[in-house]
């Protein structure tokens, strides 16, 4: 499988002079589950906003499915890349939940019946069925986040980008998002999720990209989240399950990244004892 997203030496400076990206380069493989980590202000959101042409490169290139993102490919980019913003207030603008979720599919030129079907399906997927007639601005933050997600799901894009999807969701809501992400992965979608949740990243992602100071600090498998020097530099921490086993494992035995791996270690220790 090829690289569906390719970023080459991306540079971006906001109008007030803040340089948010200073030579960001990375690749994302098709169908991958990718977590983007890094401290506040690292440039994660600024980078993600380039993937569907909300920001255009000031220097460097953004390629999606081999095609360069520019003013002329902007509409195409938005049909390929669905983006759930960090702040749902930046995303929701209609007077009802239903209208909001219907906006994207209607723009794709689908028939009213198909639009209706997509809206119902997407609201059910995020656990917001029955909220169709409500005003988005009267919903709780977590509910808004779910509606924003439904709006993206309803468009069925091949690349789905979520900026902090778990933030402000209750534990059941976080499980729902995880289940949605798993389903989308099984459907072959490419998923890029910016998050501060190291435990989620360690247990979910196939690829980890760590951004700092507008550049990629490291990219690799989830095991890079076990490298002490790197996580210190990136302002991260070890996944909790790994912390439990720190200093307790025989030399050469890898710390666990998620609960199943941790259980496996405990089981082998119990069997031995």
* Binding stretches for ligand ATP (CB under 6 A): 14, 16, 18, 20, 38, 40-46, 86
Contact residues for Mg ion, defined by CB under 5 A: 44-45, 86
| Dihedrals phi, psi of 154, to nearest 5 degrees | -65, -20
Among the listed residues 161, 156, 2, 4, the one whose alpha carbon sits nearest the alpha carbon of residue 67: 4
Question: CA 95 to CA 108: how far, in whole Å?
Answer: 20
The distance of closest approach from Cβ of residue 167 to ligand ATP in the complex, given in angstroms and rounded to an integer, is: 9
Q: Of Mg ion, ligand ATP, none, which one sits near residue 18, judging by CB under 5 to 8 A according to partner kind?
A: ligand ATP
Q: Of Mg ion, ligand ATP, none, which one sits near residue 16, judging by CB under 5 to 8 A according to partner kind?
A: ligand ATP
31 or 235: CB nearest ligand ATP: 235
115 or 231: CB nearest ligand ATP: 231
- Maximum Cα interatomic distance, the chain, rounded to a whole number of Å: 66
The distance of closest approach from Cβ of residue 42 to ligand ATP in the complex, given in angstroms and rounded to an integer, is: 4
The distance of closest approach from Cβ of residue 48 to Mg ion in the complex, given in angstroms and rounded to an integer, is: 8
45 or 174: CB nearest ligand ATP: 45
Question: CA 222 to CA 239: how far, in whole Å?
Answer: 10
Within 8 A by CB and 6+ apart from 94, the residues are 100, 103, 136
The distance of closest approach from Cβ of residue 233 to ligand ATP in the complex, given in angstroms and rounded to an integer, is: 15
40 or 72: CB nearest ligand ATP: 40
The distance of closest approach from Cβ of residue 122 to Mg ion in the complex, given in angstroms and rounded to an integer, is: 24
Q: Of Mg ion, ligand ATP, none, which one sits near residue 72, judging by CB under 5 to 8 A according to partner kind?
A: none
22 or 134: CB nearest ligand ATP: 22
Question: CA 258 to CA 264: how far, in whole Å?
Answer: 10
Return the ∠ at Cα 183 (arms to 208 and 264), rounded to 5°. 60
DSSP β-ladder status, 159-163 and 81-84: parallel
42 or 119: CB nearest ligand ATP: 42
Question: CA 28 to CA 198: how far, in whole Å?
Answer: 19
The distance of closest approach from Cβ of residue 62 to ligand ATP in the complex, given in angstroms and rounded to an integer, is: 15
Return the ∠ at Cα 99 (arms to 98 and 103), rounded to 5°. 120
41 or 133: CB nearest ligand ATP: 41
Question: CA 136 to CA 156: how far, in whole Å?
Answer: 21
Q: Of ligand ATP, Mg ion, none, which one sits near residue 271, judging by CB under 5 to 8 A according to partner kind?
A: none
Q: Of ligand ATP, Mg ion, none, which one sits near residue 42, judging by CB under 5 to 8 A according to partner kind?
A: ligand ATP
Buried/exposed 172-183: b ≥16 CB within 10 Å, e otherwise: ebbebbeebbee
- Which residue of the chain is nearest Mg ion when measured via CB? 45
Place of tokens 């794709």: 108
The distance of closest approach from Cβ of residue 176 to ligand ATP in the complex, given in angstroms and rounded to an integer, is: 22
């Amino acid at each position: 499988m090829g690289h569906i997203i390719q970023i080459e030496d991306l540079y971006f400076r906001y109008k007030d002079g803040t340089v948010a990206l200073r030579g960001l380069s990375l690749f994302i493989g098709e169908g991958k589950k990718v977590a983007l980590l890094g401290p506040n202000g690292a440039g994660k959101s600024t980078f993600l906003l380039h993937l569907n042409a909300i920001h255009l490169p000031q220097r460097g290139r953004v390629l999606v499915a081999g095609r360069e993102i520019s003013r002329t490919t902007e509409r195409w980019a938005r049909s390929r890349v669905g983006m759930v913003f960090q702040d749902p207030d930046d995303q929701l603008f209609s007077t009802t939940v239903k209208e909001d979720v219907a906006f994207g599919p209607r723009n794709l030129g689908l028939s009213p019946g198909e639009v209706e079907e997509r809206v119902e399906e997407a609201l059910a997927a995020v656990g917001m069925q029955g909220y169709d007639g409500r005003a988005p601005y009267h919903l709780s933050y977590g509910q808004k986040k779910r509606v924003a997600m439904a709006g993206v799901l309803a468009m069925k894009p091949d690349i789905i980008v979520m900026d902090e999807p778990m933030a402000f969701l209750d534990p059941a809501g976080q499980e729902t998002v995880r289940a949605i992400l798993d389903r989308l992965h099984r459907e072959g979608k490419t998923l890029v999720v910016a998050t501060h949740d190291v435990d989620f990243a360690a247990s979910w992602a196939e690829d980890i990209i760590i951004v700092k100071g507008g550049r990629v600090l490291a990219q690799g498998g989830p095991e890079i989240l076990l490298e002490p020097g790197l996580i210190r530099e990136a302002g991260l921490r070890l996944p909790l399950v790994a912390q439990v086993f720190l200093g307790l494992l025989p030399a050469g035995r890898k710390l666990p990244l998620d609960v199943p791996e941790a259980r496996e270690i405990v089981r082998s220790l119990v069997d031995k004892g």
